[in-house]
Each structure stands twice: as structure tokens, then as C-alpha cells.
A and B are shown apart, each in its own frame.
Chain A
Amino acid sequence: MVEPPMTGEAMSDDPDAQPGNKPVVEFAGVSKSYNAGQTNEFTAIKDVTFTVHDKPGHGEFVGVLGPSGCGKSTILKLIAGLEPQHPPTTGTVSVHGRPVTGPGADRGMVFQDYTSFDHRTVLDNVTFGLECHGVSRKIREELGRHWIDQVGLNVATDQHKFPHELSGGMRQRVAIARSLILRPKVILMDEPFGALDPQTRLNMQDLLVKLWRNVEATVFFVTHSVEEAVYLGDRVYVLSASPGRLVHQVDVEPPHRPAALMQREEQFRDTVYHVNDLIAAEEAARVADSE
């Protein structure tokens, strides 16, 4: 897959952006407190700092792990620029060197809950973003069918179905197509496969790896599965329990074999155990702290 529909240059709204020049995503001392100043103030993440650089011709895939409620979704929504997570209480969140001011199609997001628009067919769901940008129906439907095919759905039988006629896995394929059709520079995935059965989940992981190679975007992938993070990621971020801090960044082997094969290899298992140990140590430290 190459770029013809659109050049890489055209996708960037920053004319000076050179690959590898500015970091794709940068958190500088970011904290987020919900209901700041009120009695129910709650600090979700604290002093999170990291930088993800653009590798030329190859975005970075970041797996994000951490206990429930530690602020993983908060971090993703801060990058997306969605309220009430945006704006951060302190610190700055920048994408391509510019502070995030609000949501935009350059940062696509796939949610855990199925967020297909019920009143639109699969094709109309996939082309929603292009429709919002005023792309004519002929062009957007052509591209829409292309992406329906890319995510492994059957164009002939599925394009005119409504979301309620699809399985959970098929809905997430639609959600992925709907996001990727806009060729975002950053893709934010919040436990997108959390509600799927294990076999479907492996298939979706392979699909994601294949698509990601083609679109060359930077991906943030939140998951509760250490295997999934280690398999998909170039790098794994481990967050502490609430208030979330970034406690470990682990570089891991990128996924160059099908999920079912690679996840059986010894080296892969070792990495998973290592990350598991880090999480357990973090948990132990927290328990010791609170005693």
C-alpha cells in the first residue's frame, strides 16, 4: 500500500514538518485533576513526561499497560484533545511540536465500546469523516469500499448492512476502517479488542499489524493484556496505580510473525514475564507505601 490517494506532505498541516524532526507526541510534566478546585477533586495522572519520535517511514507502536483506573484513557484523550480530559491541569501535550488545542482528524481514536453510528450503514460509517470534510459521495464511497476490504470485511455483502447486523469483531473492523481512511498521523486505541473472544482477538492483532505497516502512523494502544502489548508494541509503557505516573518504558521486539506463532516463542514469553514482574514490583511498592 502506498500513498497515491494523498501525499504524505498534504496530510501534514505543518509545512515545516520534517520526518524525524519534531517529536510526534510529547508529554511535558502533564498532570490531570478532574473537578479541580472542588471537594471531589481527583488526580488521575501525575507528572507524566515522555516523547515519541517519528521514525521515518515507520511510525512507532506504543503499548500502554497499567492497573485499572490509573489514567490510561485519560492519557489517550489528552492526546485526542477531548473534554473533560483536555486541557491538562499542568504541563503541555504536544503533537508534532504544537500544543493540542482540541480534537481533529489527524488523531484518530478507536474505543472499546462499539461506537458505530447505528443509523448509518457500514459504508456510511466508514466514510463519515470524509463526509464531514466535504468529500463528494462518489470519491468517498470508492475509498470507503477500499477500506472495508482492507480491514477484511466483504464489500459485496457487508457494505449496506447496519451495525446491529454485525458481530463485535466486525464492528471493531468498521471502527478501524473509519479511522484509518482519514490517514491520521496518530492513532489512539483504547482497549479496542477488550470485548472480543481470544481467537478473534488474535486475528484482529494480525490485521492491525498489517494495516499499521501500511499507514505508517504512530499508534498508542491501551490494553490489559501484557501479551497483546508486548506483541504489538515497539515499546511498552507501564503506568503506576492511581495517580498514574509513567514508571517503565520497555523496548520490545516488533511483531514480524503472526500473533499465534510469535506469542508461543520462548523469547516472547521471557519479555512478557519481565513486564509482568515490573508490574508486580510496582504493585508491591504501592502496597508497601500504603502500609
Chain B
Amino acid sequence: MTDSNSQVSQTRRRWFPIRGKISLLSSILISIASVLFLFATWWFVTRGEIVEQRIVGPFALPSPAETFATFSDLWFDQQLTRNTLTTLRRVVLGFSLAAVVGIPLGILAGSFPPVKSLLAPLILFGRNIPIAALVPLTYFFFGVAEMQKVLFIFLACVAFVIADTTTSISNVGQQYLDTAYTLGSNRWQAITRVLVPLAMPGLFDSLRLLFGLAFGYIMLAESIKLGGETGGLGNLINAAQKRGLRTQIYLIILIIPIVAFLIDRVLFAIQRGLFPHKYGGGGWLLVIVRDIAHRIGDVKSMFFRPTPPYDQLTLEGIAAAERLDGGTSDDGRGHE
């Protein structure tokens, strides 16, 4: 090996450390550069006043300037905000419905093998059905009203929600269940206090991914035209297509990932707050959730007596025991 060789590998290691860390600033700068590069390419292939001289014709791809010139039309005349919110509402409703139905079923399937076998055909079917084929079917069943869009999202997602929940529950280590049992938990408590909370980080991760997919599915339902105008981003694309406005289609295509990204960031912030053991931080949401759980437990304990022998515990008894222990608790502390 020559000197110059090791110099090269030094440089490589500095710029491309395998799984190494780079600073936030350089990471942002690199990302901005990548966006700029794309726009520059876009500009380059669509430049020139005389449209015949462009590398890509304006019919297929308008130039950036032409595209952004139609923004105000999209914003005011086509009511971009309202349509975006319409689309969002449909996805959120359909997805929430899928979660409300799918998560409990998945918890049951993950906990009890017979339920898993019972649901297995349904999951297999639901996951492999071509999503696009569902659109006309939901139309036959539910017409073209809001209901159809929401139920389309529900149908497209629910099998995945069940499957992902089942997997997350199955992935919780047996040693946690064993621990719960040796601490006297019953089966119901083992599920609600151990299995479900410990499965949550994994479950939340896959639901976040699925939500992104659902956001793509809704375009399908909105842009396949089966009746009157029903609003939503997919409908906007359809309208622009009809009016021959390529520019607006490209604008909407640019806007959708931005909206999806923003939603994803919000979901990720929630995730960070809920699972400090996975993402670090103080877990402010987890603290709130635990507090609510405590309060519910407090109400419950007003109605139920502890099971023997633990119904003998009193505050006075504990205080007496502590006084007697007084001096013995200092050794063994502070060694770690």
C-alpha cells in the first residue's frame, strides 16, 4: 500500500463513514442541494421561449415558471386548502375506523392463537385484494357520497392494521409475560398492562407507514370519476386534466408529498413523546398517558377491595416498618 492510497481511503472515510453520523447542518445542506438539482434539471429540460426547441415539450412537462404561475388560480379559484382538508378528513376518518376495528382484533389475534387462525383467511384476502378493484365495488355498495370514500379507505387498510397489530403483539418477548405472571397478574392484566403497551412502539411505527399509503389510496377513490363533483385533491387533479391544465396537475403532485411529509412529522412527534425508551427525550406524552391511567385506576380502586393477602396493607403498617428499617438501607447504595 502506498501513501497516496491510504490518503484516499482517509478522505473516503471522512465523507462516507459507514453508518457514521454527519452534522444536522450538512445533512440539511445536502438535502437542499438534491432539491435544487431536481429543479435545475426540470428548468434545463423545459427552457427556451420557442416551445419546439425545448428538450421536453410543454404539453408533457411545463416549465417551473409556467407551473408556479397557475398557483394563484389553484389556491383561490380551485380552493386548494378546502380540497386538501376534504381529502385529509376522508383519510383520517377511514383510517381511524380501520384502527378502531383492526387494533382490538389484532390484539386478540396476537394473544390467542385460535383467534389468529380465525382471522387468518380474512387477513390473507384483505391484504392481497387489488386496491383499485375496490373502488367500483364500494361505489355499488355505498354510492358516491362521503361514505364511499371513507369506507374505501377503511377496507383498504383494515386487514393491514389487523396483521400489523398481531405481529407487534407476537413480537413482545415472552420474558415480559413471564415476569407479569410471577408478579401475580391475571391474563387480562397481562394483555392490557404488559402486552399492549409494549407492542405499541412497533405498532405505531407500522401504522404511520400505513397512513402514508392510505393517503395515496384516497387519490384513487377521488380521481376515478363515478358521479358528481365530490371535492378532494384527487378530484382537483381530475378537473385540471379535463381543462387541459398540466401545470396544475404538477403543482398538486408537488403539494401532496409536502402534506404527507408534514403529517408524518406530526405523527413522529407523537411517537417521540410516547416512547422515550425508543427515541430518547422526556416522554411528555407518556407521562400524561400514565397520569390518566393512574386516575382511572384510582376510580376503580374505590369500588374494588384488594385481593388477599394484600388487603392487609395499611399506611400505618408501612410507616412502622420503615421506622424499624431506618439505618439498614444505606449500604449498597451509590455504587453504580
Seen from chain A, the residues whose Cβ lies within 8 Å of a Cβ on chain B are: 1-7, 10-11, 13, 77, 80, 82, 102-105, 107-109, 111, 113, 115, 117-121, 124, 128-140, 142-143, 146, 149-154, 162-164, 167, 169-170, 178-179, 182, 188, 199-200, 203-204, 206-207, 210, 214
A107 to B178, CA, bound (A): 12
A117→B182 contact, CB < 8 A = no
Within 8 A of A (CB), among B185-243: 185-186, 189, 193-194, 197-198, 200
- The one of A107, A133, A142, A179 in contact with B318, judged by C-beta atoms closer than 8 angstroms, is A142
Interface-centre pick from A3, A4, A11 (highest chain B CB count, 10 A): A4
Contact flags B246-287 to A (C-beta < 8 A → 1, else 0): 000000000000000000000000000001110000010010
Most buried by A among B179, B180, B312, B333: B179
Closest to A151 in B: B332
A255 smallest CB distance to B (angstroms):
14
For B303, the closest partner residue in chain A by CB is: A134
CA distance A138 to B318 in the complex (A): 11
Q: Are A134 and B331 in contact (CB under 8 A)?
A: no
Q: Which residues of B contact A124 (CB under 8 A)?
A: 290
Please state if A206 and B290 are interface contacts (CB–CB under 8 Å).
no
Check if B309 is an interface residue, CB within 8 A of chain A. yes
For B301, the closest partner residue in chain A by CB is A136
Q: Kindly state the separation between the CA atoms of A139 and B301 in the bound complex, as whole angstroms.
A: 11
Residues of chain B in range 299-316 having any CB-CB distance to chain A below 8 Å: 300-301, 304-310, 312-315
A135 engages B310 (CB within 8 Å): yes
Question: Is A6 a contact partner of B317 (Cβ separation < 8 A)?
Answer: yes
* A102, B319: Cα distance in complex, Å: 33
Smallest CB separation, A157 vs chain B (Å): 11
Inter-chain CA distance A130–B315, complex, in Å, is 14
Partner of B184, one of A129, A150, A204: A129
B41 CB to nearest chain A CB (Å): 45
CB pairs A–B below 8 angstroms (25 shown): A1-B328, A4-B317, A5-B317, A10-B308, A80-B182, A82-B182, A103-B178, A103-B182, A104-B182, A113-B173, A115-B178, A115-B179, A117-B193, A119-B275, A120-B290, A130-B310, A132-B189, A133-B184, A134-B306, A134-B307, A142-B315, A146-B321, A150-B329, A154-B334, A203-B332
Find out whether the CB atom of B325 lies under 8 angstroms from the CB atom of A133. no
A-side contacts of B277, CB under 8 Å: 118-119, 162-164
Asked if B336 is at the interface of the complex by the 8 Å CB criterion, the answer is: yes
* Cβ B198 vs Cβ A107 within 8 A: no
Pick the residue among A150, A152, A163, A179 that contacts B325 (CB under 8 A). A150
Does A118 contact B184, Cβ atoms closer than 8 Å? no
Interface pair A111/B335, CB less than 8 Å apart: no
Could you tell me if A149 and B301 are in contact, using CB atoms closer than 8 angstroms? no
CB distance from B136 to the nearest CB of A (A): 44
Residue of A whose beta carbon sits closest to that of B319: A142
* B175, B200, B319, most chain A CB atoms within 10 A: B175
User: Contact at B290–A10, with CB atoms within 8 Å?
Assistant: no
Contact B184 A5 (CB under 8 A): no
Rounded to whole angstroms, the CA-CA distance of A1 and B317 in the bound complex is 12
Q: Which label, helix, strand, loop or mixed, suits the secondary structure of the B interface?
A: helix
Residues of A within 8 A of B175 (CB): 111, 113, 115
> Which 3 pairs show the lowest CB-CB distances between chains A and B?
A105-B184, A129-B183, A103-B181
| Docked-complex contact B313 and A200, CB < 8 angstroms | no
A138 CB contact (under 8 Å) in B283, B315, B317, B335: B315
Docked complex Cα distance between A207 and B330 (Å) = 10
B183–A6 contact, CB under 8 A?
no
**In the complex, chain A residues whose CB is within 8 Å of the CB of B183:** 105, 108, 128-129, 132, 178-179, 182
Question: Which B residues fall within an 8 A CB radius of A?
Answer: 173, 175-176, 178-186, 189, 193-194, 197-198, 200, 275-277, 283, 286, 290, 294, 297-298, 300-301, 304-310, 312-315, 317-322, 324-325, 328-329, 331-336
- CA of A107 to CA of B181, assembled, Å: 10
**Interchain CB contact (< 8 A) of B309 among A11, A163, A203:** A11
The complex places the Cα of A203 from the Cα of B331 at a distance, in Å, of: 9
**Chain A residues within an 8 Å CB radius of B193:** 117, 128, 131-132
**Does B335 contact A128, Cβ atoms closer than 8 Å?**
no
**Interchain nearest-CB distance for B230 vs A (Å):** 42
Distance from B212 Cβ to chain A, minimum over Cβ atoms (Å): 25
Closest chain-B Cβ to A213's Cβ sits at a distance in Å of 9
A10/B312 in contact, CB under 8 A:
yes
Tell me, in angstroms, the Cα distance from A140 to B306 when the chains sit together: 11
Q: How far is the CB of B173 from chain A (nearest CB, A)?
A: 8
- CB pair B176–A131 under 8 Å, yes or no, is no
Docked pose: A6 CA to B314 CA in angstroms? 9
**A1, A129, A146, A162: which contacts B283 (Cβ < 8 A)?**
A162
Q: How far is the CA of A132 from the CA of B183 in the complex (A)?
A: 8
Say yes or no: A139-B313 contact (C-beta < 8 A), given A105-B182, A119-B197, A200-B336: yes
With A128-B183, A129-B184 in contact, is A119–B198 under 8 Å at CB? yes
Chain A nearest Cβ from B325, distance in angstroms? 5
Query: Pick the contact of B181 from A82, A113, A143, A204 — CB < 8 Å?
Result: A82
Q: B335, A134: Cβ atoms under 8 Å?
A: no
Residues of chain B within 8 A (CB-CB) of A80 are 178, 181-182
Residue in A7, A104, A128, A214 whose Cβ sees the most chain B Cβ within 10 Å: A128
Contacts A5-B314, A115-B178, A146-B325 known; 20 new A-B pairs at CB < 8 A = A1-B324, A1-B328, A2-B321, A6-B312, A6-B317, A13-B308, A13-B309, A80-B178, A82-B178, A82-B182, A113-B175, A129-B183, A139-B318, A149-B329, A150-B325, A163-B277, A164-B277, A182-B184, A200-B336, A210-B331
Minimal Cβ-Cβ distance residue in A for B280: A164
